[in-house]
């Protein structure tokens, strides 16, 4: 597969997944799901996926690493946005 074909495939997959995410968010909005409830749903989905990935430890570790990366990026952005006052002696 050429680099161009691979890029087209990745773009198509991204668009397909984006549509799924948008459908889920639309359901959350229709059902008036609170952010806390949405978080619970997401944690339940993660738990289920971890069970499915139990048979493939390498994929499970890669998935966990991606979750950790998302959380770390969020925390870093939060720290940058908070811009604490400078330390004074």
pLDDT, tens digit, 9 for 90 and up, residues 39-86: 999 999 999 999 999 999 999 999 999 999 999 998 988 888 876 666
Residue 21 has pLDDT above 70, yes or no: yes
Domain ranges of the chain: 1-32, 34-82
CA distance 64 to 55: 14
pTM over 0.75: no
Residue 18 has pLDDT above 70, yes or no: yes
Burial 51-84 (b: 16+ CB within 10 A, else e): eebeeeeeebeebeeeeeeeeeeeeeeeeeeeee
């Amino acid at each position: 597969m050429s680099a161009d074909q691979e890029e087209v495939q990745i773009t198509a997959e991204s668009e397909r997944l984006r549509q799924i995410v948008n459908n889920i968010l639309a359901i959350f909005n229709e059902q008036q799901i609170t952010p806390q409830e949405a978080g619970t749903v997401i944690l339940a989905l993660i738990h289920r996926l971890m069970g499915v990935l139990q048979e493939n430890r390498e994929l499970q570790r890669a998935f966990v690493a991606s979750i950790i990366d998302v959380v770390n990026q969020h925390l870093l952005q939060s720290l940058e946005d908070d811009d604490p006052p400078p330390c004074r002696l």
